[in-house]
Amino acid sequence: MEKNALPAPLRELVERLAGLPGLGPKSALRIALTILKWPRERADALGRSILELRERLCFCDRCLSLAESSPCPLCADAGREQNQLCLVGEWDSLLAMEEGGFYKGQYMVLGGLLAPLDGVDAAQLEFSALRRRLAEGEVRELILALGTTLEAEATASYVKNMLDREFPGIGLTRLAQGIPLGAEVKYVDRETLRQSLLWRQKL
């Protein structure tokens, strides 16, 4: 169906949905038509949830993650290690780390990764908040959980240089990189093999 043939309210919703990551015009139209088939109460509840998402959430002053209050429950938890700070690019990376249940330190959300080709430089990320957090003097180890993309490598390099200049007493580590569990060497790509050899471990 031609977009212009859609009734105006439906066309407007489809255009807004199509602006979301991973959704194209056809998927957006399917979602909009599904919502139209819902009972009025269910559609109203979805609308209220979207409105409340903006009204009820805030950014934690300590770690910059999304929360209902500041400080967030993780930062307010006195049982977590105060001397370890895990730096992640986005909030969903923090969620992935927490789902594992194996990390008991603090977090900081950088708000993205350095991507000069996309116009994302250091001034657009939360490096000033990271500096303030490190300047408090509690953190002894900064753990980089940024991934293995070119943007992640550029961000890791920037953080390393910052620590060398401004916080030489803080240790810097990163999540191990290499061959995933269950994989055979012959099926692993060249860059992963290079990283695996570079970050090899003693037995």
Q: What is the pLDDT of residues 3-54, one digit of tens each?
A: 567 899 899 999 999 998 888 999 999 999 999 999 999 999 999 999 888 8
pLDDT at 199 over 80: no
Q: 47 CB contacts (<8 Å, ≥6 apart)?
A: none
Q: What is the pTM of this model?
A: 0.77
Q: Per residue in 140-165, pLDDT tens?
A: 999 999 988 889 999 999 999 999 99
Phi first, then psi, for residue 84 (nearest 5°) are -115, 130
pLDDT at 201 over 80: no
Residues 122 and 101: beta-carbon distance below 8 Å: no
Helix, strand or coil, per DSSP, at residue 96:
helix
The rounded percent of the chain whose pLDDT value lies above 90 is 67
Return the pLDDT at 32.
94
Task: Find the helix packing angle between 25-37 and 40-56, rounded to 10°.
Answer: 120
Return the pLDDT at 154.
93
Q: Per residue in 184-198, pLDDT tens?
A: 888 888 888 887 888
Q: Mean pLDDT score of the chain, rounded to an integer?
A: 91
Sketch out the chain's domains with CATH numbers.
Answer: 3-56 (1.10.8.420), 82-175 (3.40.1360.10)
